[in-house]
């Protein structure tokens, strides 16, 4: 028989229970509380990649970090110049877009008149003139004196409308010329300009068309 002091064979623990015990031990808050969270780990990963890319670029750039900084400043200046150039082109194209007779969604003559009155009340005479001319042309289309046609210019509308309203031919042509001058920025619109078109708008609404002349014209 062995005495109590004798050392027996080493105590062994089955593999699976040992692994489970280790996992329980490592999962305790004592071991995990100092680990970074998922957001922090993602940020660290991104920063390491970005810094590594910059460091590699600086290594292959003449002048190292200073040379890389100069290149980045040049690229920023080029991008700024391109942006300013595109903005200038859009500004230059503005009057042409404004000169289109109907550049927006289709609106009724009443809607164009309301817009013209709103601009006039605020002293914005250029848009007031444009909207009033659009109201005139749209009203002629609504009366079937003009065929609705996308892309029609003010001059074309005046020439076609003059056949149905010969008594207003001179006023229609003057209105088209005024619209073009204001829309393309050659003429600063005034209250008198808007009043001229408003009078023509009222006159064409009261005028009786000469349908025979309109239908027989080429």
CA distance 171 to 162: 9
Could you report the per-residue pLDDT of 194-203, keeping only the tens digit for each?
A: 999 999 999 9
CA distance 39 to 97: 49
pLDDT of residue 96: 44
Q: Are 200 and 175 in contact (CB under 8 A)?
A: yes
- pTM here? 0.53
| Nearest alpha-carbon partner for 185 in 55, 71, 91 | 91
Q: What are the counts of helices (DSSP H) followed by strands (DSSP E) for the chain?
A: 10, 0
| Average of per-residue pLDDT across 89-112 | 62
CA distance 169 to 161: 8
| Average of per-residue pLDDT across 168-173 | 95
Domain ranges of the chain: 47-97, 109-216
Higher-pLDDT residue of 12 and 144 is 144
Interior CA angle at 135 toward 141 and 177, to 5°?
A: 95
pLDDT of residue 97: 44
Crossing angle for the helix pair 191-206 and 125-142, nearest 10 degrees?
10
Look at phi and psi of residue 151 and say left if phi exceeds 0, alpha if psi is from -120 to 50, else beta.
left
pLDDT of residue 102: 64
Q: Are 214 and 140 in contact (CB under 8 A)?
A: no
In Å, what is the CA distance from 31 to each residue of 7, 45, 122, 151?
35, 22, 71, 74
143 exposure class (CB count in 10 Å sphere: 0-12, 13-18, 19+): middle
pLDDT of residue 120: 96
Q: Are 73 and 99 in contact (CB under 8 A)?
A: no
Could you report the per-residue pLDDT of 8-35, keeping only the tens digit for each?
A: 555 555 556 666 666 665 555 544 555 6
What average pLDDT does the structure give for the chain?
A: 77
Residue 218 has pLDDT above 50, yes or no: no
pLDDT band of 72, cuts 50, 70, 90:
confident
Residue 117 has pLDDT above 70, yes or no: yes
pLDDT band of 178, cuts 50, 70, 90:
very high
């Amino acid at each position: 028989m062995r005495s109590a002091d004798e050392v027996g064979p080493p105590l062994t623990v089955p593999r699976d229970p040992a692994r489970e015990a280790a996992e329980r031990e490592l999962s305790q808050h004592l071991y995990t509380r100092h680990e970074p969270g998922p957001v922090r780990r993602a940020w660290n990963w991104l920063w390491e990649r970005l810094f590594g890319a910059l460091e590699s670029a600086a290594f292959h750039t003449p002048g190292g970090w200073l040379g890389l900084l100069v290149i980045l400043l040049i690229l920023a200046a080029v991008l700024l110049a391109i942006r300013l150039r595109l903005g200038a082109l859009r500004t230059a194209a503005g009057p042409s877009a404004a000169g289109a007779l109907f550049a927006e969604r289709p609106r009724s003559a009443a809607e164009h008149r309301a817009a013209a009155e709103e601009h006039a009340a605020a002293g914005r005479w250029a848009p007031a003139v444009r909207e009033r001319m659009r109201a005139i042309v749209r009203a002629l289309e609504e009366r079937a004196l003009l065929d609705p046609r996308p892309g029609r210019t003010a001059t074309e509308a005046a020439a076609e409308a003059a056949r149905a309203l010969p008594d207003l031919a001179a006023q229609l042509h003057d209105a088209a010329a005024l619209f073009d001058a204001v829309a393309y920025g050659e003429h600063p619109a005034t209250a008198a300009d808007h009043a001229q078109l408003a009078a023509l708008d009222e006159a064409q609404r009261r005028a009786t068309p000469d349908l025979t002349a309109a239908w027989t014209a080429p």
